[in-house]
């Protein structure tokens, strides 16, 4: 049995990556493709690399155009998925269709935190699409709604997860510096993303705890066992198209050694297909995960500072968005979660 899939927001980076991966998925048939201002054009005008779909017409994003599919991906701007999801439910009669939101609308459990950081009304909370977190696979099985995590929270959470679940750190005083490629900012033209502005430069943004992913990070740390989590998160924009590399530090408990830390990471991810712990002394590089659903991590001890230092990298468009969404979709549909996904990157 093949499942039919519609993609709303098909002309953006996230929607394009969802389609790229779905074209290689053996259990999927791609149905309607929709967008906002791009409606009425050919997909090939926006996603020329998707050759099999180049002549498809982009339809308006309406509940009628998304109806009749087994799965609907929403690759829409933050704050717009909620109303579309309501229309889909009304059109198709409740929760018959699997709706996967690649935006932020349904990630947070706290309406107060949503309003504080996103300045709009909270749309609700859906099961969180990060299968590697303890207990998430059970929540994703047979669900009809999935909230795809943010790319920074996916990277940071998986980079720190073993240290929290194995009790090496308590989740207090976590410091994160994470560098992202420009695709993380979306496809809309912005002056700071022009080639002349981006090439040969690195810059910080969202400085001082104001980035929208802060509450999502704290929510995840709490679910991983941190009793009173705190985080200082500084995102960086660097001149590459894809990828995130996060450096995460936190105070370690007394007596923890570098060997303890590495062993904890190996143990925590021993059965995870997409998370690869590197040998001691080898550190993740963003170039090695491009185009894949893989996560590369490693961690050690800064003995003088008394802090764990963990480094993780992933492709923000793949495992950080579309790949993570398809991995979660596979679980919800009862498929092997690796179907249609690869751990093999593109090099050079």
Contact between residue 243 and residue 313 where contact means Cβ atoms under 8 Å apart: yes
Q: At how many degrees (to 10) do helices 151-165 and 258-268 cross?
A: 110
Closest C-alpha to 133, from 263, 245, 223, 213: 223
Q: How far apart are CA 33 and CA 58, in angstroms?
A: 5
For residue 28, what are its two tokens?
A: 């999927």
Contact between residue 307 and residue 251 where contact means Cβ atoms under 8 Å apart: yes
Closest C-alpha to 66, from 38, 88, 96: 88
From residue 10, alpha-carbon distances to 15, 18, 293 in Å are 4, 8, 20
Strands 275-277 and 295-302: parallel
Concerning whether 151 is annotated as a catalytic residue, the answer is yes
Q: Which residues are catalytic?
A: 151
């Amino acid at each position: 049995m093949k499942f039919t899939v519609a993609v709303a927001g098909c002309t953006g980076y996230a929607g394009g990556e969802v389609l790229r991966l779905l074209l290689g998925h053996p259990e999927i048939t791609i149905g309607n493709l929709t967008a906002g201002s791009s409606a009425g054009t050919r997909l090939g005008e926006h996603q020329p690399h998707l050759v099999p779909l180049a002549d498809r017409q982009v339809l308006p994003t309406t509940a009628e155009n998304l109806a009749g599919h087994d799965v609907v991906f929403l690759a829409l701007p933050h704050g717009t998925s909620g109303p579309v999801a309501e229309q889909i439910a009304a059109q198709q009669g409740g929760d018959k269709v699997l709706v996967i939101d690649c935006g932020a609308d349904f990630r947070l459990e706290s309406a107060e935190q949503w309003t504080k950081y996103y300045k709009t009304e909270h749309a609700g909370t859906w099961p969180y699409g990060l299968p590697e977190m303890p207990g998430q696979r059970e929540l994703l099985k047979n669900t009809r709604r999935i909230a795809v995590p943010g790319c920074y929270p996916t990277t940071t959470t998986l980079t720190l997860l073993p240290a929290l679940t194995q009790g090496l750190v308590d989740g207090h005083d976590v410091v994160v510096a994470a560098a992202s490629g420009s695709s993380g900012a979306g496809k809309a033209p912005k002056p700071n993303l022009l080639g002349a502005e981006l090439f040969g430069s690195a810059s910080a943004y969202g400085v001082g705890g104001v980035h929208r992913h802060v509450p999502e990070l704290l929510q995840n740390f709490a679910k991983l066992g941190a009793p009173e989590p705190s985080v200082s998160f500084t995102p960086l924009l660097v001149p590459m198209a894809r990828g995130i590399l996060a450096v995460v530090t936190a105070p370690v408990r007394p007596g923890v050694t570098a060997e303890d830390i590495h062993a904890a990471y190996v143990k925590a991810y021993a059965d995870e297909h997409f998370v690869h712990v590197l040998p001691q002394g080898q550190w993740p590089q963003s170039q090695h995960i491009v185009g894949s659903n893989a996560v590369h991590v490693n961690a050690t001890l800064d003995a003088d500072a008394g802090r764990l230092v963990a480094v993780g990298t992933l492709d923000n468009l793949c495992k950080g968005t579309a790949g993570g969404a398809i991995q979660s979709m596979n679980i919800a549909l009862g498929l092997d979660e690796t179907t249609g996904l690869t751990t093999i990157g593109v090099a050079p």
